Amino acid sequence: MGTILVTGGAGYIGSHVARQLGERSERIVTLDNLSTGFRAAVLYGDLVVGDTGDATTVARVLRDYGVDTVMHFAAHIVVPESVADPLKYYRNNTASTRTLLQCCVEAGVRHFVFSSTAAVYGIPAGGVASEDTPTAPINPYGRSKLMSEWMLADVAAATPLRYAALRYFNVAGADPGGRIGQSTPAATHLIKVACEHVVGKRDHVAIFGTDYDTPDGTGVRDYIHVEDLAAAHLNALDYLRGGGAPVTLNCGYGRGFSVREVLDCVAAVASRPLTIREAPRRAGDPPTLVAEARLIGRILDWVPHYRDLPGIVGTALAWEWTLTDRGTDDVARTEQAKLSSPVVA
Ligand code: UFG
């Protein structure tokens, strides 16, 4: 087996996948520019500090490490930011993926696992999206990822490279072993925000919209534990190594929770009431977005183990306490990590 290149392996989802790969004794190398990632999140293999849009660096890593598989996580992921600064997203998510793919083709990389998103569906009718629901992204973030999916499909049709594109729904939770988690400063995701409130980093949680056409008026999402999501990538790797054809799969559980249900759960897990403020709808939010999620189980033999919401919230909250107990804020930790870490340059 060749080495697996994990781009964005110092980030939230990439670091969980890299950890599971390392635990399985796979040979891995991480490429991350540390713009939002953390050196301390790289638990296995070398970290090369660099950009996926830098063809020279990528080509060197593919050659020096004998890479035959790429798992591509490096991306910007904040939807409102993509609306305000679309070219940042088309450069970092789309153009860099093009560069990476070109290097992969030139180096003869055989397998590519791509981190895609449910945002490619936009606002699907009925709030449930299956893999053949028409794609209709409503923001630059979703479009930047969908364009990468299209490039992958075209490259796979023209070269021996085969891929799995995984469309993530709402990823949350943290490593059950407590070693890594979501450390992003200025987080916007509901469960992370609520956990920051519990540990005292925010004085309240806002509910964005209470007048949606949903059972309790708040937005409904399909929350998937990062540990199950990471495992799906290892299954995708096995599938491709076994000769599987290119495939695009939803990553969710096929069930939704409302914002109020999530906040009730956080309060129950934390054993304390939350300070909640009702706020207007957030631009671009669909009322309901839930995965039709049967295909991934069938194609990848993927069996989730962390479906229950209290477990997702519990690991997210435990990680938030870990960050707090370390006594330094996220930004300071990033700077410190950048200055003091031994890295492959
Ligand atoms: N929400 C709040 N208060 C908050 C944060 C979120 O009420 O402080 C609500 C949102 O309005 C939404 C739900 O909680 O109804 C979930 O919001 P998140 O920000 O946690 O996640 P999104 O559903 O907006 O985004 C996720 C991924 C994106 C991806 C999108 C696909 O994070 O990367 O799903 O729809 F694009």
Give the distance (Å) from ligand 1 centre to CA of residue 190: 6
Q: Atom 16 in ligand 1: which residue has the minimum CA distance?
A: 190
> What's the pLDDT score for residue 205?
98
Per-residue pLDDT, averaged over 313-322, amounts to: 97
Q: Atom 33 in ligand 1: which residue has the minimum CA distance?
A: 77
| 331, pLDDT greater than 50 | no
pLDDT single digits (tens) 190-222: 999 999 999 999 999 999 999 999 999 999 999
Pairing of strands 257-258, 220-221: antiparallel
Which residues, other chains included, contact 257 with Cβ-Cβ below 8 Å and sequence gap of 6+? 220, 221, 223, 265, 309
> What's the pLDDT score for residue 55?
98
Q: Which positions are annotated as active-site residues?
A: 141
| Atom of ligand 1 minimally distant from the CA of 189 | 20
Give the distance (Å) from ligand 1 centre to CA of residue 235: 27
| 333, pLDDT greater than 90 | no
Domain boundaries, the chain: 3-344
Per-residue pLDDT, averaged over 290-315, amounts to: 97
pTM over 0.85: yes
> What's the pLDDT score for residue 285?
85
| 12, pLDDT greater than 60 | yes
| Atom of ligand 1 minimally distant from the CA of 259 | 14
CATH class given for the domain over 3-344 = alpha beta
> What's the pLDDT score for residue 338?
40
Give the distance (Å) from ligand 1 centre to CA of residue 77: 11
| 327, pLDDT greater than 70 | no
pLDDT single digits (tens) 244-271: 999 999 999 999 999 999 999 999 999 9
